[in-house]
Structure 1
Amino acid sequence: MSVNLPAYNRILAELAPHKARLVAVSKVKPAADIQSLYDAGQRIFGENYVQELQEKHPILPSDIEWHFIGHLQSNKVKYIAPFVSMIHAVDSLRLLEEINKQAAKHNRIIRCLLQVHIAEEETKFGLDETELKELLTQWKEQPDKFRNVRIAGFMGMATNTDNMEQVRAEFRHLKNLQAQLKASFAPGDEQLTELSIGMSGDYTIALEEGSTMVRIGSMLFGARY
């Protein structure tokens, strides 16, 4: 078993002053490891693969809050819609519409984060600012079309670089963008308040720049092979 409980407790202590939450990234890790971290008090777990999440969900405690954090294809939403708590990487209007459709079938409301492309790498997914504003405009103008989703906020992945000042600037840019969009599209509302930024290598910077959720895996579960 490879759960690092000292690291878990240290991370929680670092998150506490920022009132941020930990998403324990458990992809490719066995159910026994997830259970160990659950027994230590963790309740939010993040998975990247639909089939793996389908397999883990029924054999682990029912009060786990499953977050889907990987790239999600529209045709696979139906498999996780009955139980997923939050979907982090909504990168198109079509995907948001499909999540709403599948959530409605189960009489559920699924919280979503819009993935914003803030990194230099073209390979990373996400909406650019124009696409983001277009999506939010449709969401705002057609509320009946999105009754079964809540746009909780935004998710971003920084450039994979050793230049931490660049990472900080990308996180800060997304935080500023969130503030602008919140004021325009959801003032006085609980929507658009979450900011899922920060992973094992940069979460301390993300916290300083306003993260409300950090996604950490290897520090908790060890390296993936």
Structure 2
Amino acid sequence: MAIAENIKSFNKLLSPTDTKLIAVSKTKPMEDLLQAYEAEQRHFGENKVQELVTKSEELPKDIMWHMIGHLQRNKVKYIAPFIHLIHAVDSPRLLKEINKQALKNDRVINCLLQVHIAQEESKFGFDETELFEFLNSDELRSLENVKIVGLMGMATNTSNEQQVDQEFKGLRGLFETIKSNISLPNVSMEELSMGMTGDYKIACASGSTMVRIGSAIFGSRNY
């Protein structure tokens, strides 16, 4: 029952901050997810579309599925009927495809714009200039079947906590700026998804509303 105990421990830690726990269940078997579910966990994050679809078909229907990995445009159609939140929207072209598939499914799909805040080139996301250009574009205004509900960011993978803190605080600053200055029907800054197993405490202190925790709940992964 270690998984259930881990879920309860995290929720107890996070409850004073009102931060939601997204249990990152990628590569983990159904039995592990069911243990988390029985501990009242309802938000689960996956980073592969095929795995996400398979699990959604077999597991309880009140689970809220989060797509947290890099999403290819040609895979959007598979998750559009049921996805709760797409975290890593890293381009206008991807958001346009999500809007197209949402329209086909008569849905409005909630999305987070991924912002590149790390020093590593391997991370995806908008830079600050691209972010504000897109938020002020006519293209975004025309997308009626998506809603931008916040931002997502991944800090540099480093032991330098001061750097991680600066990166998270910078993203929080962008979040607050957008919240104060951008007024569009399909933009509402509600969620700030930042923080994983190694840096969630710093993220919570910087105002994260969602942390994406995998190995600290389910144990290390076998790839």
Q: Which moved more, 1:187-196 or 1:213-222?
A: 187-196
1:78 pairs with 2:81: no
Structure 2: distance between partners of 1:3 and 1:73: 34
Q: Residues 147 and 28 from structure 1, CA distance in 2 versus in 1: closer, same or farther, beyond 3 angstroms? A: same
Q: Residues 3 and 137 from structure 1, CA distance in 2 versus in 1: closer, same or farther, beyond 3 angstroms? A: farther
Residue 47 of structure 1 is matched in structure 2 by: 46
1:149 pairs with 2:165: no
RMSD: 1.7
Residue 155 of structure 2 is matched in structure 1 by: 158
Structure 2: distance between partners of 1:186 and 1:195: 18
Contact kept? 1:151, 1:192, Cα under 8 Å: yes
1:176 pairs with 2:183: no
Q: Which moved more, 1:190-199 or 1:214-223?
A: 190-199
Structure 2: distance between partners of 1:78 and 1:167: 35
Q: CA deviation at 1:9?
A: 1.4
Structure 2: distance between partners of 1:30 and 1:3: 15
The runs of at least 4 consecutive aligned structure 1 residues that moved more than 2 Å come to 2-7, 186-190
| 1:60-99 aligned within 5 A | 60-99=59-98
Contact kept? 1:3, 1:37, Cα under 8 Å: no
Q: CA deviation at 1:194?
A: 0.8
CA deviation vs aligned residue, 1:167-222 (integer Å, no higher than 9, x gap): 01100010011111111113899712210000001101100100000000001101
Contact kept? 1:48, 1:71, Cα under 8 Å: yes
TM-score, normalisation: structure 2: 0.95
Contact kept? 1:77, 1:98, Cα under 8 Å: yes
CA deviation vs aligned residue, 1:117-174 (integer Å, no higher than 9, x gap): 00000111111011111111126x753x211111010000000000111101100010
Instruction: In structure 1, give the amino acid aligned to 2:171.
Output: L
Residue 205 of structure 2 is matched in structure 1 by: 208
Task: Return 5+ residue gaps in structure 2 as ranges.
Answer: none
- What SS class does the counterpart of residue 8 from structure 1 fall into? helix
Instruction: In structure 1, give the amino acid aligned to 2:146.
Output: V
Q: Percent identity?
A: 55
TM-score, normalisation: structure 1: 0.94
- What SS class does the counterpart of residue 191 from structure 1 fall into? strand
Contact kept? 1:100, 1:146, Cα under 8 Å: yes
Task: Return 5+ residue gaps in structure 1 as ranges.
Answer: none
Structure 2: distance between partners of 1:113 and 1:163: 26
Aligned length: 222
